[in-house]
Amino acid sequence: MKIATAGLEPRAKIVSAWSFDVFDTFLLRACTTPDGVFERTYELSGISRTCPNVSASFVQHRIQAESRARRTAKEKRGASEVHIAEIYSYFPFKLFGLSRRDLSDLVESEFSAELELCRANPDMLRQYLDMKCTGHRVGFISDTYWDSDRLARLLRACRPGLTWHFLYASCDHGSSKSEALFATYLSEQGVDASSSYHVGDNEKADIKGAKRHGIRPRYYPQATPLLASTFQRETALFELLCQGAPSRLDHGARTLRRMVAARSAEKSPAFHLGVTVLGPMMTAFDAFIARRCEEASGPGRKVALGFLGRDGFLSHRIWQELHGPTAAYLEINRRVSLIASADTMQPLVDLLSKVFKIDAPTFGDMLKIMPAKVAAFFAGFPDGIASGEELAEALPGLMNPAEIVALAAGLRARLVAYLRQAIPDFDDCTDLVLADLGYSGSVQKALRRIFDLEGIKIRVHGAYLMSLDDAFDDLTEEDSAEGFISDLVVTPHVKRMLIRNVALLEQICCSADGSVRDYDGNQVLREINPRPEGQIALAAEIQAGALAFAETAEEVALDFCLSPYAAPDIAARWCTATLARLLLLPDEDELALLGDLKHDVNLGTHALAPMIDGAFIRRQITARGLSAACTASAPPMWLAGCFARLSPSHAYLYTLFGANRLPADVFEESPCDPVQIGLFRGNGEATLETVTVHRTGLGELRLRIPLSRAMGIATITLPLAKFAAEGLLHGVTVQSADDVRDAAESQDVLGITAESLVYAGIQRNGDHYRAETEDGCLLIPVAPMTQNIAIYSIAITPLGAGPK
């Protein structure tokens, strides 16, 4: 038995003692989870050089070796406590090109990893020293495979000069805190249990174990259950989206988040989201922006930094908090910059082609003119509303290019005057760094054209949170653009999925003002802000939490000796996982908090698009299948949120699809039995038609019934008793077009109300039904058709015996 007694004082009558758990309480590790130590062992041992890219295998074998060692010890000795050498005796040495002679080297490598990753927790250290100064006996009780000698070395390495009255390691005593280790400690140290305390993070070992022996426990959890769940989802997404990268060594980024969250005052759920999710992500992005500014600097260069409004509003606030007033907030959007950069009609055509819908007042507000031919064009559409694509195609025949050139010259002059006001010493600048959420650098490219037209010799560099990297090949040689989350961090498939859902992030990060439409001297003229006041207040509260993280993070990082942003590639990958978790796998609280947000289209229109349409995805899956639903175009803007509203597993399936990891032959439908349905015309005539029942990868049955207008069908009769006598009816939908193919591919899916369905011989309770007779049928009314084809789709989860 070993008991480290450094600084042991003469024994006296003990009335009180404070014992501390070691790992994850007194000592914290600068890695995502405790098995990050094993991942670092893989690197320090040199196995990473002889067997590269197998860190996950090494970690899992290390975990399995410990499990086997403990199981064997339990069988042989009746107790599962083991030393580190026993663990490695079960390690598969040959698999990694080693022999059993390397056992001690592996042990030393793992201890070196502990020395490197462990830090003294300043919060616990203060409590420890305070208790010691007030006359309490203090020490450590740890469930660990490190003996007390190594444990003492580790504690002193993290806190030089540290002393204690007692130190107990479970492996030295063959018993854990959940078993007899506390009893051993009380007996040997003469401690009065009722006057003593134990501090630890493990509810079973530290809390229940202490209580069982009459010791007063102090619970010190690593994270709240909510934050722990967030971390678990982030790790799953990291391993899915950043495959092949070490997933446990993050330079202490997660430890930093835990400690900042622990020190933050309890406030609203929105503030908590800012502290624990948005703040860490945007603070990492801030470090990336600082690096981009350094890269643009050099002899003879004067670099200015500008954050593009509105989406760059929060990033600018964080920069001001961390670096002072050394950057400008530039209210320049895609619409203004593209129009100002036009010396031909093409930039305007490109802009309009991306607009979903537009009318004459919106066009006039954008361009400040309304040519007669353009007015006549809009008058030819229902309600005067055309698609942007239709307008873009017709525009060259509706306007004189000279009108565009003159319009652009005026706006360009006002924009450049605004830049001179917003950026100190603008004319002396050699380089301008533009920071923004991203994505294809349209504003950066437009500014390049503006500067060239105005003879301004300033290089332009993009610093984007996310970048569509194939969009930057046409930059001039002197300009540059880089995304923090680039295609070197995640694949283009993943990037497209994130950007499809990024409207949520834009609304959270943007300013409370409307979008810029023009300039008057140094004044910004803005659109009316159509977003609800409650949404603006919610975004402000989330941003306040993000700022609180940024304000605290540097101090906490110094306290714990953490450098979470020292390795840009690692910081980028974890920023990706943090962002992806929020966008793709939100929890129920986040859905409730964010699901009602609206997205303003921000192209001169006051339209608001919903983030989530609760029934949208269900209708898409019913009518078009899972894969087609995963590719649905906006609106709604937060497609992943729609899937998550359906269920967490649906959200994960959507994520797998976006990561190109969802095999179609598993999750798409396959035909099973045919079934005869009845089609009734309005005059009472009926025919029987055979349709195929399909089974999907989710276990649902799906039928599609195409009808033509010429058939004059009034009612569809579906004999549920024949193929699904009991089940859940998820819905009936209809798609319309002038031919079958267009109808089947249409995203315009309408749901048939449950009240209009008639159940004959079927008992129904909500979505659940059960046929009471062998002739039980579902009667589906057919609405009057305005197009040639209508396809009715029915989705059912059978609960009894279905088709084989």
Residue 682 has pLDDT above 50, yes or no: yes
The amino acid present at 795, given as its one-letter code, is A
Question: Which range is least confidently modeled, 139-148, 368-377, 553-562, 714-723?
Answer: 368-377
Residue 425 has pLDDT above 80, yes or no: yes
Question: Which range is least confidently modeled, 42-56, 364-378, 601-615?
Answer: 601-615
What's the pLDDT at 323?
97
What's the pLDDT at 602?
60
Q: Does domain 17-26+121-219 have CATH number 3.40.800.20?
A: no
Residue 9 has pLDDT above 60, yes or no: no
* Whether the model pTM is above 0.75: yes
What's the pLDDT at 15?
52
Mean pLDDT of all residues in 505-525:
93
Considering only CA atoms, which of 149, 191, 192, 154 is closest in space to residue 168? 149
User: Can you give the C-alpha Rg of the chain in angstroms?
Assistant: 33
Residue 87 is inside which H or E element, if any? Answer: helix 84-88
Mean pLDDT of all residues in 236-256:
93
Per residue in 78-125, pLDDT tens? 999 999 999 999 999 999 999 999 999 999 999 999 999 999 999 999
Q: C-alpha distances in angstroms, 483 versus 285, 438, 495, 507?
A: 10, 8, 11, 20
Per residue in 443-500, pLDDT tens? 999 999 999 999 999 999 999 999 999 999 999 999 999 999 999 999 999 999 999 9
| Spacing of C-alpha 748 from chain mean position | 28
Other C-beta atoms lying within 10 Å of the C-beta of residue 282: 28
Residue 179 has pLDDT above 60, yes or no: yes
Where does residue 277 rank: exposed (0-12), middle (13-18), buried (19+ CB within 10 A)? buried
Tokens of 114: 């502990």
> Could you please report the per-residue DSSP string of 607-652?
-EEES--TTHHHHHHHHH-HHHHHTPPSSSS-HHHHHHHH-HHHHH
Please check whether residue 231 is in contact with residue 32, taking contact to mean a CB–CB distance below 8 angstroms: yes
Considering only CA atoms, which of 515, 496, 519, 665 is closest in space to residue 584? 496
Mean pLDDT of all residues in 215-225:
91
Residue 804 has pLDDT above 80, yes or no: no
Per residue in 193-219, pLDDT tens? 999 999 999 999 999 999 999 999 999
Q: Map tokens 């649905």 to a residue.
A: 632
Q: What is the mean pLDDT of the chain?
A: 93
Tokens of 598: 């609206």
What's the pLDDT at 802?
44
What's the pLDDT at 616?
95
What share of residues in the chain are helix, strand, coil (percent, to 5)?
Answer: 50, 20, 35
CA distance 538 to 515: 19
What's the pLDDT at 606?
66
Residue 10 has pLDDT above 50, yes or no: no
Residue 12 has pLDDT above 80, yes or no: no
What's the pLDDT at 358?
83
When comparing pLDDT for 363 and 197, which is higher? 197
CA distance 414 to 554: 40
Of all residues in the chain, the percent with pLDDT exceeding 90 is 83
Phi-psi region of 689 (alpha: psi -120 to 50; beta: other; left: phi over 0): beta
CA distance 357 to 86: 69
Mean pLDDT of all residues in 639-660:
96
CA distance 332 to 649: 40
What's the pLDDT at 61?
98
What's the pLDDT at 80?
94
Q: Map tokens 């010791």 to a residue.
A: 215
End-to-end CA distance of the chain: 66
| Spacing of C-alpha 547 from chain mean position | 19
Domains of the chain, residue spans:
17-26+121-219, 36-116, 228-284+529-590, 612-665, 669-798
What's the pLDDT at 448?
97
What's the pLDDT at 11?
42
Question: Which range is least confidently modeled, 290-299, 483-492, 545-554, 595-604?
Answer: 595-604
